[in-house]
Structures are given as C-alpha cells and as structure tokens.
A = this chain, B = another copy of it.
C-alpha cells in the first residue's frame, strides 16, 4: 500500500451527495478523480464543474485498474455485491475505503470475502445532508466534522495512515479510530436514535394546523425527519441490535420522566432537568471549529 500523495489515482464508486462531496474536495486539491456511477447526467454534472476527470456508467476495467484508492459511496448492500462481482478487476495493492454509516455488519463481511492482495479500511465521514443526489454535494459540510476510521486486526498501519491522510485532505476537524462495534453503539445513540425520534414526532400526532403554531424547537427536533427511507431503513436493519438497545434505554428513561410527571414529583423532574442541562453543555459546538 502506497501512501496517499498527489499522484494517487482515486476512483469514486457512487456519485451521490457524499461521493460528490469527496470528488469536489479531492479534485480541488489536485488529485486525479474518476468515477463510476449509475446515471450519465450525474457524470455530466460533475464534469461540468471539474469535480472529476472522467466518469463511466459501466464498471470500466481500466478505471478500476488505474486506481490506487477506491472510495465506495454506495448503499451498504450494493457495496457488498459490487465487491463480490467486480473484485477480480482490482490491481494488486489497491486500497479501498467506504463511507458507510454502519460498520460491524459491513467491515468484517467485506474483509472476509476480499482478495488478500487488496486492503479494505473502513471509514465514516460524519457529515450529511437531508437531500440526496450529486447536485446537493458540498465539501464544506466536512469542515468542523468528525471522520471516524474503524480498523480491524486485518488492517495494516500503512492503510490506517493513508485513511487518516484522506480524512485530513477532505477537511475534517477530528479524525479518530473506533472499533466497528464501538462505532455502531455510538452511531446508534447519536444518529440513528435521533432519526427514530424525529420520525416518531412527525407521525405520533397528525392533527391538522399544528404547523401554524410551531416554533423553532419543534422544527429543530424534526429537521432530520425528512429522511431517505431506502437508505435509513437499510442502515437501521444493519445495526438492529445496537439501535434497539438505545431505543429501549430512551423509552425507559422517557417512561421514568413520565412517571415523575404523573405522580407530581417536581423535585425528581427538576433533578433530571438539571442533569440534562449540565450534560448538554458538553455537547456545545467548539467555537474554533464552528
């Protein structure tokens, strides 16, 4: 595995909102970026903005073989299928990485089926958009955001290093390593649970006219209820156990608070609110990376 340099040939598979944001950042910094994606119109769009050097709607052997680094920005099940079907095309020594939002169920499977002369180092760029499609891609979303690498014992220090460099090049503020399992527990709480809550808030009370009275707090809590149902249902199912655990922890604590209210335990409610207030301060955005 070669270190990441400006000579690195990069192939992005899947030019959606995240793949497109990667393409923008990498081309801007002088890397040679090719892409394979489903729709010719997305390639034309990316070419017109100089986001890629070349693109193809077919799995072009030449593109795959030229690549030193291949970034998969696909739905999880399509990523795994792609590897099974096309991995014979990889040049020996190719490094592959991904952007998938869940890890345990993907990383071990891909690593177990992958050719031994090719290395897969998994990563999760924690920056997203409510809208999908390359026309919504924007590499400014990486600024101030987290990039999480989830190596396993099959990964080499060189691949981990190259993946960190990729995170830096993309502009992420904080690059960290977690095990796939730690990543999935964290993401179940911080991201998947919050999406479940936002969706539930939108579907638990469908009384008319509510929108006429809404304020910013309700809007903030439900912004992410505009959701890509195909992608998120797949991500939820791939992280089912960890997400169910977080949903149960939330439901139990919500029920505890409900009981405090029901029995009129003002002190208990106030103690919980003070604890929430104190803990929330930890989560304020650092001023520097704002």
The residues of A with any CB-CB pair to B shorter than 8 Å are 126-128, 145-146, 148, 174, 176, 186, 189-191, 193-207, 210-215, 217-227, 229-230, 232-234, 236-237, 240, 243-244, 246-255, 257-258, 261-262, 264, 266, 269-277, 279-285
A248 closest partner in B (C-beta): B258
- Using Cβ atoms and an 8 Å threshold, which residues of chain B touch A236? 261, 269
Assembly CA distance A201 to B201 (angstroms): 14
- Assess whether B191 is in contact with A275, with CB atoms less than 8 Å apart: no
- Assess whether B226 is in contact with A240, with CB atoms less than 8 Å apart: no
A239 closest partner in B (C-beta): B261
- Quick one: which of B195, B254, B273 contacts A197, CB cutoff 8 A? B254
- Quick one: which of B176, B195, B237, B250 contacts A204, CB cutoff 8 A? B250
Assembly CA distance A272 to B249 (angstroms): 22
Assembly CA distance A240 to B269 (angstroms): 13
- Assess whether B186 is in contact with A213, with CB atoms less than 8 Å apart: yes
Assembly CA distance A13 to B266 (angstroms): 25
Q: How near does chain B come to A156, taking the closest CB pair, in angstroms?
A: 25
- Assess whether B229 is in contact with A274, with CB atoms less than 8 Å apart: yes
- Assess whether A191 is in contact with B204, with CB atoms less than 8 Å apart: no
- Using Cβ atoms and an 8 Å threshold, which residues of chain B touch A205? 189, 246, 249-250
Assembly CA distance A212 to B227 (angstroms): 24
Assembly CA distance A282 to B243 (angstroms): 28
- Assess whether B229 is in contact with A270, with CB atoms less than 8 Å apart: yes
- Assess whether A126 is in contact with B215, with CB atoms less than 8 Å apart: yes
- Quick one: which of B218, B219, B229 contacts A269, CB cutoff 8 A? B229
Q: How near does chain B come to A96, taking the closest CB pair, in angstroms?
A: 24
- Assess whether A218 is in contact with B202, with CB atoms less than 8 Å apart: no
Name 7 A/B residue pairs within 8 A (Cβ), A-sorted: A191-B218, A197-B254, A202-B280, A214-B283, A221-B224, A227-B276, A237-B261
- Assess whether B176 is in contact with A213, with CB atoms less than 8 Å apart: yes
- Quick one: which of B127, B244, B262, B281 contacts A261, CB cutoff 8 A? B244
- Assess whether B194 is in contact with A233, with CB atoms less than 8 Å apart: no
A204 closest partner in B (C-beta): B253
- Assess whether B210 is in contact with A189, with CB atoms less than 8 Å apart: yes
- Using Cβ atoms and an 8 Å threshold, which residues of chain B touch A281? 226
Q: How near does chain B come to A8, taking the closest CB pair, in angstroms?
A: 28
